[in-house]
Amino acid sequence: MSVGPGPNPIDAPGTEEEEWRAWDGLRELPALDMTAWRDVVVIAAHPDDEVLGAGGLMALLADQGVRLRLVAVTDGEASHPHLPGQEVAARRIAESAAALKHIGEVETIRLGLPDSGVREEELRGLLPELVDGFDVCLAPWAKDVHRDHEAAGRAASACGLEVWQFPIWTWHWARPADPRLPWDRAVRVPLPPAVADRKQAAIDCFTSQFEEPEPILPPGILAHFARPQEVLFRDARA
């Protein structure tokens, strides 16, 4: 996920997954109806966003015969600043490829934009060609607080497709019933046990993000993505 520099809510202690699971509001969201979806583009700011935020939904869509294209915006080279960026990128690209094998058939297009430096305008300019022929776009939530996620979400909003956005860091910094989140535009995607297992197997591929002493995805954060449902926000422009 690559945390940017400077103090922000991502660095502060966050909400425990138990609190989210204890809140009826998540279970009471309407279920997403994706039965009419045929061609879906998934935008990931970093190699792992797609699986953390929408890996279960992608598996369900793959099983439904939907054509899936992943637009990988960065290669995640900034997650380990003490290591050579190229080395980190190569590892993370391989992790993403291994993870997607658990999800299903996904075409991946890598843009190689700078990790922690994604510019909305540049991505917005690239997207029309990349989403041509697709009907739905999934992207990180434009208010996820991580700047690359937000740039990707805002660029997706302008791509002209039906857009749904998935929160990632939000589960850490937000709280149940949090008024900063657009619950009136939220849907849930329940994950059957076999699909949840595939998502977990995919998450387990991102080993670079779990390494001690300072894992980027410590167990407390990972617990949010082991939840047997995903949540997406319908884009405000849709």
Task: Write out the residues near Zn ion by the rule CB under 5 A.
Answer: 1, 45-46, 49
Indicate the length of the chain as a whole number: 238
Least distance to Zn ion, CB of residue 149, Å: 6
Indicate the residue among 66 and 203 with the shorter CB distance to Zn ion. Answer: 203
Least distance to Zn ion, CB of residue 49, Å: 4
SS3 of 76, please?
A: coil
Least distance to Zn ion, CB of residue 152, Å: 9
User: CA 134, 107, 139, 226 torsion: positive or negative?
Assistant: positive
CA 20 to chain centre: 18
Relative orientation angle of helices 193-203 and 49-63, to the nearest 10 degrees = 140
Contact 76, 68 (CB under 8 A): no
Residue of 189, 191, 167, 190 whose CA lies nearest to 178: 167
Indicate the residue among 56 and 66 with the shorter CB distance to Zn ion. Answer: 56
Least distance to Zn ion, CB of residue 24, Å: 29
Indicate the residue among 67 and 110 with the shorter CB distance to Zn ion. Answer: 110
Indicate the residue among 48 and 235 with the shorter CB distance to Zn ion. Answer: 48
